[in-house]
Chains A and B, each alone.
Chain A
């Protein structure tokens, strides 16, 4: 899709998915291109739901994963192969589910965090899993050939609740964001046996002035976007050789502030996601979804990010998660406090 300044786009609701009995916190599309499109959702009703697109094109709930978590399920993430689903809960555990021909079996429960686990993310190869918690730490787990998980590092550095962890799309670089307002970049050291914080982006380095709730990388992996309680979204850029980030601490101050979107949301921005076609979606406590893109018009040789559209009242309550479909990059899913998930299609307005 070629986005240009003279096109008018709309976000059209395709379907509303109902089933959760309480707030929906997080969504994850299955990345496996061989299976039919699948969406996992999780929430305060302690369940995980698996939605699948039927032959008629409409979405139906195929499975409900329950009885594994005793409290809110805050986050879910598919492994890159799409065979495993990790779910993180306020009950301080992370569960790993194996998906075989429509059935989900809990094959491991990762324990160790002192309290609520807030987010879970797989690295590009699927060999590592990261979790973060209100206990201020980030844990890195390695999946052993026996499908057992071993904690290989406990990363300390955040001074508050860690809200989200996200691996780089193809490198073993991890980014975490926190209630302490900072963004931290973690990489394995030269010896390959420990993980270190290689960069901290805080208020002094043009970072956020309140809780950072989420982040997302572009598919090229040279930019990332963060969103915050300070009502801004910020774009970070690295023009340096990313491979050099591994282990070489001195040259790792790589992520630089590129752009700040102010004033598009009236309340806390809880979620942001960068599509494969370079459309950034954000969702907030003002019930609104905003879409942004980089305009081709050059202004003062600076990147020129613009708003593509603003969808007010996209949900009846706060929006907690927006996720672009990795296979069909114009399909967006959103999840809300109103207990629903909505599937949207981005298309050009025909006049």
Chain B
């Protein structure tokens, strides 16, 4: 393994079985379809880690419990756990989560991305940066960063 990796030997977890979503027997076309935890998790679980050929699910950076949804207020909160406390890629992972949800969810959804409390040495500053939409907008105009994010978002698994 190449030296200089931020987390040279990450713990890899098994991917959970994909649940088949049961479709309701009576479809009410007028009913608004509410977005739930599982749907959000399905959007983000296969995002690839910026430095390892594993998904965020496999590295336990995100799981179902990382996601809080308030479908009525159109808010989603994702709390992710960096693999190591000093992970300098925490902001990049957070941006990947934000971009993926920006592309997947209806535009009026409000998304908050946070580092799990006590799991990162500069937690407050990472959180502040990830939730400053002006800085996020400026970052996403950076072609090198967007290249890296798009690479992470090219799903490692095709279901």
* A→B interface (CB under 8 Å): 23, 44, 71-72, 74, 90, 115-116, 118, 134, 161, 163, 179, 210-211, 229, 267-268, 285, 287, 316-318, 337-338
Per the 8 Å Cβ criterion, residues 100-159 of B in contact with A are: 107-108, 110, 128, 131-135, 137-138, 141
- Chain A residues with CB below 8 A from B128, complex form: 179, 210-211
Given contacts A210-B128, A287-B108, A317-B107, 16 further A-B contacts (CB under 8 A): A44-B137, A71-B141, A72-B137, A72-B138, A72-B141, A90-B141, A118-B134, A161-B135, A163-B134, A179-B132, A179-B135, A211-B132, A267-B110, A268-B131, A316-B108, A338-B108
- Give the residue among B110, B131, B133, B134 with the most A Cβ atoms within 10 A: B134
Are A285 and B141 in touch, CB under 8 angstroms? no
- Chain A residues with CB below 8 A from B131, complex form: 268
How far is the CB of A125 from the nearest CB of chain B, in Å? Answer: 30
Provide the bound-state CA to CA distance between A211 and B134, in Å: 11
Provide the bound-state CA to CA distance between A318 and B137, in Å: 14
Provide the bound-state CA to CA distance between A285 and B111, in Å: 11
Are B107 and A116 in touch, CB under 8 angstroms? no
- Chain A residues with CB below 8 A from B132, complex form: 179, 211, 229
- Chain A residues with CB below 8 A from B107, complex form: 316-317, 337-338
* B→A interface (CB under 8 Å): 107-108, 110, 128, 131-135, 137-138, 141
B138 contacts which of A116, A163, A267 (Cβ < 8 Å)?
A116
Specify the chain B residue showing the minimal Cβ separation from A90. B138
Provide the bound-state CA to CA distance between A15 and B110, in Å: 26
Provide the bound-state CA to CA distance between A78 and B127, in Å: 35
- Chain A residues with CB below 8 A from B133, complex form: 268, 285, 318
In the A-B complex, the 3 residue pairs with the closest CB atoms: A116-B138, A90-B138, A71-B141
- Chain B residues with CB below 8 A from A118, complex form: 134
How far is the CB of A263 from the nearest CB of chain B, in Å? Answer: 16
- Chain A residues with CB below 8 A from B135, complex form: 134, 161, 179
Between A and B, 9 residue pairs with Cβ closer than 8 Å are A44-B137, A71-B141, A74-B134, A90-B141, A134-B138, A179-B132, A211-B128, A285-B133, A317-B108
Provide the bound-state CA to CA distance between A290 and B61, in Å: 39
Provide the bound-state CA to CA distance between A338 and B107, in Å: 8
